[in-house]
Amino acid sequence: MIKVLIINGPNLNLLGERETDKYGKDNLEEINLQLQKYAMEISIELETFQSNHEGEIVEKIQRAKYESVKFIILNPAAYTHTSVAIRDALLSVNIPAIEVHLSNIYKREEFRHHSMISDIVIGQITGLGAKGYFLALDAAKDYFQGD
């Protein structure tokens, strides 16, 4: 069984309350419960984490290397566009990762069109709401098929 870590960045703790037209009506706890159930069905050990603090996200990524994490699914939220620190943390652990965004960042303000990590992750899922996390779990499973 592979261990997958889902990291959610700033303000995602307010899902279901803020801008539901962009991010949906489910809160993060509900999404995480659905993801845990699905992960068990497809034989993935899943850990979820959310922080509004860049340094905590960096530390979580760094610890993943020593906690048997084999795959990272990351929604950096606002840090997508600004965080060299998160980018460097991903590079330092050498764990395959997928970038997920609930909204389509390319249909939003111009500054959101650039991701600091898109060129170092194996893929990006954007604009499909919470379904993006489930697709990323499937991709993680497929990535290790045969291991």
The CA distance from 116 to 74, in Å, is 12
Catalytic one among 79, 101, 113, 133?
101
Q: Which residues pair with 142 in a beta bridge?
A: none
Catalytic annotation present for 23: yes
Catalytic one among 23, 53, 79, 106?
23
Catalytic annotation present for 114: no
Q: Do 42 and 83 contact (CB within 8 A), yes or no? A: no
Edge-to-edge, what's the strand order for the sheet holding 44-50? 44-50, 2-8, 71-75, 97-101, 123-126
Name the residues annotated as catalytic: 23, 101
